[in-house]
Every structure is written in structure tokens, then in C-alpha cells.
Chain A
Amino acid sequence: MPSYETHEYDVVVVGAGGAGLRAAIEASARGARTALICKSLLGKAHTVMAEGGIAAALANVDTRDQWQVHFRDTIKGGKFLNQWRMAQLHAQEAAERVLELEQWGAVFDRTKDGRILQRNFGGHTYPRLAHVGDRTGLEMIRTLQDRGVHQGIDVHMECTIRRILKDGDRVGGCFGYHRETGRFVVFRAKAVVLATGGIGRCWAISSNSWEYTGDGHAMALWAGAELIDMEFVQFHPTGMVWPLSVQGTLITEGVRGEGGVLVNREGRRFMFERIPELYRGEFAETEEEATRWVQAVIAGRRPDARRPPELLTRDVVARAIRREVREGRGSPHGGVLLDIASRRTPEEIKRKLPSMYQQFKELADVDITREPMEVGPTCHYMMGGVRVDPDTQESTVRGLFAAGEVAGGLHGANRLGGNSLSDLLVFGRRAGQFAAESAQRNASVAQVDPDQIDQVVRESLAPFERTDGENPYALHEELRSTMHNLVGIVRTEEELHAALGKLQQFRQRSARIKVGGNIQYNPGWHLALDLKNMLDVSEAVTRAALQRKESRGAHTRDDFADSDARWAKLNLIVRQGTDGIEVSPRPLPEMPPELKKLLEEGEHG
């Protein structure tokens, strides 16, 4: 049996994006010996790709904003499936977290009176997103990284965690390997925080990087934790569609926040026809009104018009775009047109959307200050994740915490843009705090049964032992196109069943994967191991999608096209049963009357 190195910590944070960094900073500040483990180099995590901003009711631009409105927007955007307590904590604490970031050196764009500027975004009633041009995520991760440097956190870079180790029914640590050397490593820990992000690499057209293979989702499942809301996968309405090599690359919602409009091949702004019942009366109904709103926003006035329908929530916009394309009104390469050139001056565009400008100019030969962009939906974010206690972020396994995208519950059936960066900060901090406290309550480091380790070592090395077998890249491509075609934006019973069948075949084939080369920095091997996570996560999504026989938020069923009031009160819980993945409905926790009242006020106000 190959040897492995062992480390001992109070708290091990798996994942070094916004949530992981924030959790590690908090745990360390509270005196816990803390390790931060990242799959890539530090600072390269997916958070750097977040563009638009951090949602927080600072009320710097519109003084009417307050946490209650943010709470209401979040719940409404999530189509009432959110865990109310998470949505409440998130709305209440986001502003504090953003100001804290500023005290740590972040330089947000400014208002005229020198405060943090906020921009409009889909589903937010008021301009609410603190931002830095279109590179807010980079600002956030660098600020946290620089804060963390002096915090005494041990950072283990390019280290992939493969398994949560248990000590009886509580967490005992985790097992992984160093990508560079292939050497195995065991972290013994009193508490583990999962901050591994999402699962987007299971879909063919995706804005996510290679890292997003559902590691945390899968490991939590294997460790006996519950997942929630796994049927809700967000497709961002605006990804690049051309050229093929950049298909899926994200175009920030900030383009629409800055006044950009969506038009179809016929030049019509189709979003006016797609305002759903839930938002009836809240959006502009004529182009004239929408233009008036944009002009007021540009001038820094409080608008006397309603906002353009391009700023509807992502689920609505993505479906509308898909429909235009399906019905033959799409752009030449199968998207629709997003036009900012006719709305803002070239200087403004370059200033507020510099990365978008550069990205299109260099990769697509399109000058967005003169021409429209071709856009289409791209798999972007996982609403579902580890079911956690709203206050502590602890999962149903003692000592196992989760924060950020890997945790479920805050966003319900659909996440509002800007709510993920605030999610990372608010719940990253909470996870770090309560993981440190949990570790402090346990005097001794947990004992880990060596059999657990032997088993995962054997499993990890198996692909090297086969002399003949499948290519992991080819299998991954098949998985991605299967999920894209059968478990995409719009789903049917038949297709979901077909997907399950395919997944079953892939599972058998994945057991025959062969990798060449040696154990050092071998991406083929890494992918072969990640496929196990992706297959389980894909199955969890598919099974949950099959059970939810209605359309809600990001989950759209062609065979159950309407929302069903009975389903509005149920979350789907995914568990690892003895015969595989099990899905069961569970009633939502009852919302306290004062919060219910907030929602009702919104309905009539």
C-alpha cells in the first residue's frame, strides 16, 4: 500500500474561493489551527470569474433599499423554495460583510459622494450590487487572499480532496492527493468545511472551469449528509455562442444592468412578451418606458419608470432566449443579440465593462461598442447543495460544514445575480466561526480507521492498473452532452429516464477507464477520479428533476409546464441509500409571520 503524509488541524477548509477563504480567515481568527486546501493555485478559484457584483442593501444609491427588500427579492427570485432563515441572515448580514471587505482593502467603484457604488441587476428592486467594473470576483478573492496571507492559515495548493473521513458518525478529516506529485495526503481534523463550489462541468455548454466537478456535493453525499434542491441548475441567459471555442463563456448580467437590451433576429425586444405573472406590473411594458428608466439610471436620478424586462430573473430570461432560438428567431449562430452599443457611449462601455470589451474583441472579433453580442444560455450555477443548518452551516453529519455554492437552501429554485458573492461572504464567515467552535468543543483530534484510507487509495490507483480501457476525456464529453441534451433547461419525464439509463452505462464504463503516464501531474488521471463525483452528482440532479413534477424557477418540465402550489411547500432531499441515490420530499420550514408579512407587502406594494 502506498504511503501517505498526514497533517493535523482543528479546521480544514476544502476549497479556496470566496467562501473557503472567508471561512478560513474566520476560523483562524477565532484561534483554530486552520488549513485551506485548493484544487488550483491560490486565487484562481471560480470566484475570480464572478463579474457583476455583490448584492447588499447598503442603500448608497437608492435610500429606500433595506434588508427586508433584499430578503423579499431573494425569496421571490427563488420562487418561494428558499430556506427562509438563510435568506434572512443573508439579507441582514451582506452589507456588513461588504463594508468589512472595504476595510480589508477592496476598492469598489464609487458614487459621486465617494461611497460604494451599486448597480442594477435582475430581480433586485433597487440598485444593489457593489461592484468593480466587471471584475468584482477578482477584487473579492484578492482582498480575501491578501487578508488571509497574514492570518497564519496553512495553504495547500493544487491538492484535490477525494473523501471525507469519518470517526464514527462525526467527521474525522479528509483524504486527497497532491496534484503535482500524486502523493496521497490525510488531513486529520476536528471539523471540515466544504467550499468546493458547483457542478457545471457535467454540462456541455458551461461557464464553469475544470474544477467544477461536484466534489463537495459528492463527498458530502458519500459521508452520509443530505443534499437539497438538487433539481435546480441555473443556466445563465447570456453566455457567448460564437466562436465555438468560447461557447459558454460568461457575459455578465451587468451588460443588461448598464442598459443592454436583448433582441431577436427580427430586431424585436422579445422580453416584453415574457413577463411572468409573478412580476406583472413591476416591469416596463413599452420600449419608451424602459428607455426612460435607463436614462434616469445613467443620469443618477431616481427613475420614474419601471425597469426593462431584460432585468427579469435569470430563469425567465434563459427560457425566453431558448424559445426565440427554438422558434427560428435566433441569431446566425443560434443565440439572440445583446446590444449595449446603441445604449451607451464607447467610453462608458469600456469603463464599466472592460473585460467584456476585451473578451469579445480578442476572442470573437466583435467590437461591443459598435456591434451587438451573440448570446445564449450557459450552465452557470448550482442552487442545490449540502443541506445545512441555516445559522451554523453544519450539515447533517456532525463536524461537516458547507458554505457557498456547495451548500443548498439560500437560493431556492433560482438564484438572483449578485447573491452568490454575498452568500460566500455571509455563510463563509458563519461556517468558519461555527467550525472553529465545533473544533474547540472536541478536545482531541478524531481517530480515523485506516481501512477507510486503504479503500480510497486502492480505488484511486485502479485506473493505472488497467492495460486497456476507456479514455476519460471521451467519457466526460459523452456525460456532458448527455446532461446537456436530456437534463438541460427544459426537461421531460422521458428524457430524464433516458438520462438515467445513460448514466448507468457511463458508470459501468467509468470502472474500465485507463490512464497512461505516471502519477505526477496527470490530468487524465485526475479527470478519471473526478468522473466518479460527476456521475453521482448528475444522477442526483436527474432523480430530483424526475420527482419534481412541476415547473419552478430553474427547473422547467415540458410535461408539467405550470407551477403547482403543492410543490411550493416541498423541498427534495437527496441521500445516499443502501441501493444508491434516494430522493424524498420534505416540507419547507414554516416562515415566521413577520417575514411572511414582508412577502405579502411586496405583493401589494
Chain B
Amino acid sequence: MAETMTLEIHRGDTAGGELVSYTVPSTPGMVVLDAVHFVQAHHAPDLAVRWNCKAGRCGSCGAEVNGKPRLMCMDRVDKYPAGEPITIRPMKTFPVIKDLVSDVSWNFEVNKKIPAFKPRNDRPPRFSQEEADRVQEFRKCIECFLCQNVCHVLRDHQRKEEFGGPRFFVRVAALEMHPLDDGNRTGLLKQDLGIGFCNITKCCTEVCPESIHITDNAIIPLKERVVDEFYDPIKKLFRILMPQSRPEAGD
């Protein structure tokens, strides 16, 4: 008889929900998503869960396992203490649709606010690998939205109207620091994306399954750019005295 474990999975929808316990046999190398699939196949065919690649590449299966935001497909069950139930809930920040599935459509709306890549055409598209490196880190993002989920500005303060969230700072960073991009999105960062609401408490970086240094490499450098343009008196003076050095205004 194989060893078993207990899962407590959130079942329910907008009307309310509860944790339901299931017993699942454990196999070597099993991840939380495998256990959820077992429940689906044997106990609860209608258990709603999002997943696709099952290899940490698509970012579909984000949930909260024992209270921590994780990709279920990369979360080995053998790292949890044996004998204790593993609790799986949907991401808290977004409205629940059903069981482990939440409504993340807000993120896609935020994305639309960000002006597209605008290639500079004054030179051939050549740049070094070293220059690519900085941007490629941001482009590793798999849009699992775990950073959005854990960010307290969204999670506890529900500032969805005024704040874009870490994912979209990463996206803006990828555009702003792109060696070939000619746009300027600093005003957008300050206004529509409300970068000032971020108090750099780094939970986004802690949960990122792609190990993107969201706070240090994306948000803080962007904050510095916002300071350059809006809050640095000496830079302002320079700009008044030498108007040609003014960065191009937004698209």
C-alpha cells in the first residue's frame, strides 16, 4: 500500500466556499499539481484548476499552498512535513471563480494601458548580449501573477484603480530599458500605474518563480527614473536651462 497524504482544497465559488479534505497516494517526485489531478480524476471530476505546461513555463497554476503563493507544478509535496495536511487555496487578491480558479482579467486590462514597443529607426538593430541581458531578465516573466497576488497594495489595500502592480513594472522595465526602444513611459509609471504606491517591501521578488529581481532590477530603477523626471530639482533646473536634453515626452 502506497503512502498517502491529505490535501485540503478550497471548493466553492463566488457564493462562498470551504476547505474539503481528500486522501491521495503519494508517489516519488510528486508535485502539488499531481495531487490535485489525482483528486480530479478520482474524487472530484468538476474540481476547477488552471494548468497547462506542468513545467513552470506557462504560469497558469498559481495558488496558495499552506498560505504561500506557489506554482503548483513546481512545488514538490515531499518538502512539506509528512502527516500534516497540505492546504491549497486560490490566489487571494483576485475574485474567485471556482475552486482554485480566480478571475485574473484585471491584469489584462492593466496591460492595455502600456504603450507598445517603439523601435528607434536611426540605426540598425544591433546591440550586445550584455545589453540584452538586462532586458532578458524581465522578459523571462511567465505572467503567473503570483507577484500581483502577494503585493499588499493589491492584496490588502485593493488599489486596483490606481496601481499597476509588480508584473507591469517588470513589463515597463523591459520596454524602457530595451536598447532599441524609443518611447518614454515615465509619466505613465507615476500616474496611471501609481509606482509611488509601491513601498518596495519585496514580496513580489520573494514569490517570483522565475527568480526575477523585480524590486531591485525593475521597480527601483524605474522609481529612480521617475525621480529624474519629476522630483529631482537639479535635473529640473538642467532641463529648463538646456531644453534639448529633455527626454522625449510620452507617446
Contact = CB atoms under 8 A, between A and B. Distances in A.
A contacting B, Cβ–Cβ less than 8 Å: yes
Given A523-B45, A523-B47, A211 B112 contact: no
B50 interface: yes
B207 to A, nearest CB: 15
Contact of A245 (B31, B40, B117, B141): B31
Interface in A93-135: 99, 102-105, 107-110, 113-115, 117, 132-133, 135
Contacts of B175: 105
Interface in B114-153: 114-117, 119, 125-129, 131-132, 135-136, 139-143
A280 interface: no
A49 B57 contact: yes
Given A107-B135, A138-B140, A44 B41 contact: no
Contact of B52 (A157, A210, A523): A210
Contacts of A142: 139, 141
Interface string A30-48: 0000000000111111101
Chain A interface bracket (under 10, 10 to 19, 20 to 34, 35 or more):
35 or more
Contacts of B115: 150
Nearest to B119: A103
Nearest to B105: A157
Given A103-B119, A355-B57, A524-B40, A43 B140 contact: no
For chain B, what secondary structure do more than half of its interface residues adopt (helix, strand, loop), or is it mixed?
A: loop
B53 interface: yes
Contact of B45 (A44, A139, A245, A517): A517
Given A40-B52, A146-B116, A243 B125 contact: no
A472 B57 contact: no
A158 to B, nearest CB: 9
B29 A242 contact: yes
B54 interface: yes
Given A107-B132, A522-B48, A44 B58 contact: yes
Interface in B54-71: 54-60
9 contacts: A44-B52, A105-B119, A142-B139, A150-B115, A209-B52, A209-B54, A243-B29, A244-B29, A522-B46
Given A48-B58, A114-B127, A42 B48 contact: no
Nearest to A359: B55
A364 B29 contact: yes
Contacts of A523: 40, 45-49
Interface in A191-237: 209-211
B229 interface: no
B170 to A, nearest CB: 11
Contact of B31 (A44, A107, A363): A363
Interface of B: 13, 27-31, 34, 40-42, 44-60, 74, 76, 97-99, 101, 103-105, 108, 111-112, 114-117, 119, 125-129, 131-132, 135-136, 139-143, 171, 175, 178, 180-181
Interface string A233-251: 0000000001111100110
Contact of B104 (A41, A114, A209, A250): A41
A525 interface: yes
A44 B29 contact: no
A182 B192 CA distance: 34
Nearest to A473: B41
Contacts of A209: 51-54, 58
A454 interface: no
A102 B46 contact: no
B50 A40 contact: yes
A149 B45 contact: no
B178 to A, nearest CB: 7
B136 A362 contact: no
A563 interface: no
Given A107-B132, A244-B29, A521-B48, 9 more contacts: A44-B60, A105-B181, A149-B111, A245-B28, A246-B29, A355-B57, A363-B29, A364-B29, A520-B98
A485 interface: no
Contacts of B58: 40, 44, 48-49, 209
Given A149-B116, A520-B13, A244 B28 contact: yes
Contacts of B47: 523
Given A103-B119, A105-B178, A115 B126 contact: yes
A449 interface: no
Contacts of A132: 136, 139
A336 to B, nearest CB: 19
A471 B44 CA distance: 10
B153 to A, nearest CB: 23
Contacts of B181: 105
Nearest to A471: B45
Among A150, A155, A245, find the residue whose CB has the most chain B CB atoms closer than 10 A: A245
A245 B78 CA distance: 13
A291 interface: no
A474 B40 CA distance: 11
A358 interface: yes
A472 B31 CA distance: 23
B222 to A, nearest CB: 17
A250 B52 CA distance: 13
Nearest to B113: A149
Contact of A135 (B27, B57, B74): B57
Contacts of B42: 473
A12 to B, nearest CB: 19
A245 B30 contact: yes
Interface in A242-264: 242-246, 249-250
A110 B125 CA distance: 11
A114 B126 contact: yes
A146 B29 contact: no
Contacts of B125: 99, 102-103
A435 B135 CA distance: 35
A249 B54 contact: yes
A107 B54 contact: no
A40 B51 CA distance: 9
